[in-house]
Amino acid sequence: MSGFKMSGFKMTGFKMAGFKMTGFTRSSARRWGAGLLALGLAAGMLSGCGNSSDKSSAGVSSAADASVNVKFSEPINGATENVISLDGKADTTRNYGMQTSPQPDEYREEGRQNQSAYFKDYGINPFNDTGNKPLSTFSLDVDTASYTIARKYIESGSLPPKEAIRPEEFVNYFRRDYPLPAKDTFSIYTELAPSAFNRGYHILEVGVQGKNVAASNIKPSALTFVIDVSGSMGIDNRLGLVKKSLNILVGQMGESDKIGIVVYGTNGRKLLEPTSGEDKDRILSAIDRLEPEGSTNAAEGLILGYDMAYRNYKKDGNNRIILCTDGVANQGITGAEDILKMVEDYKAKGITLTTLGFGMDNFNDIFLETLADKGDGNYAYIDTVEEAKKVFIDQLAGTLEVIAKDAKAQIEFDKGSVESYRLIGYENRALEDKDFRNNTVDAGEVGAGHAVTALYELKLKNSLEGRIGVVKLRYKSPDTGKVTEISKTIDSAQVKDSFYNATPRFRFISMVAQFAEILKGSPWASNTSLEDVNDILEHDLKDLNWSKEDTGFAGLVRSAMELKAR
């Protein structure tokens, strides 16, 4: 799940102290202090500006412009928070930082604390002139957290902050009907139709469908749960939802699988040595006994978790850390580079990292996305038991079984047919065009059965010359490291004459993207409203085979309309 960009991010204030995973002490772990804070905070203390562009850019900064434009929502009640600056010195501010987790007996009866959440603004992709830049290159991304975070905000009675919106994660949350690959790891699907909202523009859908792996054929798994049991996990029963979620996952494990558990509050500790998935009672009993305690030493929890996973490595199996947390990290180690290096070192040894976010107050989206990216894993936000079932039952193979590493896409637009284009989302997944065939560049990881969708808005020329462009996909086998490249031509004959002649799923996913762009405040969606999206959902998608998630999305649009009207 790499290809993630921290543009303009420099850790110059930290020293790269070497570390060893054996013989570490609790005091040495603490010395790594706010490294986990820095994952969410360092970008907030640096600023950069994207270059302004011409008419087609409309003041939009591209991800390639090193535009670290971070905005954190301000805590209510003017709470002052603790901050570790880039030179390691403490400071205070009302706008950035981490709060010390309250102790369980400090919680108010209604369970509410000062609210703050940490997101990063990656800018909005501009239109590109095809004559000057015909190539668009990005890392595949299977994360869906942004959509469920936005859903949590809206269902809790407020619109999400614009920085929390990553349109590609909205789009990739929903089921697609792409054809399965006949023999390869992936198939490529394309569809092209006029935009429902912008006259003279078209929407191009590029879909990548991964091969399925039956549950019975999933490799044996060695899972290490690293569970945050700090005081903040007592808010709104976050830890209770963690327990229910992990119970669901444990229920899918068999005798060839193993599960170990590490927990962390003020300190980290090993709760359960790796145990056969057949011994569910023992595993579930350990999970059920968890209670919130102390502050948040995520660093020590991760160190112990990786140590356990490495010592119990399963050859030819799925070796994965599953981190369950609200993202608050206020105690522990002091070098963000050391944290990320540890995660990357263990990734190279075959241990991947999935991050699962819970709760909202003090939630650190930056921290969790960065960790999952560096750990070649995925990042999901769990707001309900139903969402946990989706991740651990419906998408179990995709969550555990990696079918491709360093997966990246490159679309080459034909300058004879396409005047300009923009990629909707993927701002923090952009890659240099020259790195598409550079096999040393880290890119995305895709799990079994996963589908990845990218949408482009195109300005076509009046006279189309044979083809629109070519989609190229490049990836490595996780088992052999062999690199494969496949491609598909986008023929001009594919262009539909009307939005309403496109497939129902294309029309639906276009509404999902438009909803995300409106919430994000994209200038490219400034001429449309939530009412416009709702109108198409209600009247022009009667031929859609509506899923439960689709219906939930339509309800979410209506709820957002009501909130926006207040």
Taking only the tens place, the pLDDT of each residue in 497-530 is 999 999 999 999 999 999 999 999 999 999 999 9
Burial 186-222 (b: 16+ CB within 10 A, else e): bbbbbbbbbbbbbeebbbbbbbbbbbbbeeeebbbbb
Q: Which residues contact 160 (CB under 8 A, 6 or more apart)?
A: 149, 150, 153, 154, 519
pLDDT value, residue 23: 40
| Residue corresponding to tokens 């570490």 | 24
- Give the pLDDT confidence of 8-43 residue by residue, as tens digits: 333 333 333 333 343 444 444 444 444 555 554 443
Q: What is the pLDDT of residue 340?
A: 83
Please classify residue 292 by burial: count the beta carbons closer than 10 Å to its beta carbon, then call 0-12 exposed, 13-18 middle and 19+ buried.
buried
In order, the DSSP letters of 411-428 are EEE-TTTEEEEEEES-GG
What pLDDT sits at residue 92?
31
pLDDT score recorded for residue 447: 95
- Structural domains present in the chain: 128-214+403-565 (2.60.40.1230), 221-400 (3.40.50.410)
**pLDDT value of position 330:** 57
Q: For position 328, what pLDDT does the model report?
A: 66
Q: 298: which residues sit within 8 A by CB, 6+ positions away?
A: 36, 228, 264, 325, 329, 332
Mean pLDDT by runs of 10 across the 566 residues of the chain is 44 35 42 49 36 40 34 29 28 30 32 59 97 98 96 96 98 96 96 97 98 91 97 91 98 96 95 97 97 89 96 96 83 62 93 94 86 93 96 93 97 97 98 97 95 98 89 96 98 96 98 99 97 98 96 99 95
Residue with tokens 């569809």: 191
- pLDDT digits over 45-101, tens only? 323 333 333 434 444 444 433 322 323 233 222 222 222 222 233 333 322 223 333
> For residues 276-286, b (16+ Cβ closer than 10 Å) or e, as one string?
ebeebeebeeb
So what's the pLDDT on residue 216?
Answer: 84
d(CA 286, CA 293): 16
Query: With contact defined as beta carbons under 8 Å apart, do 136 and 421 qualify?
Result: yes
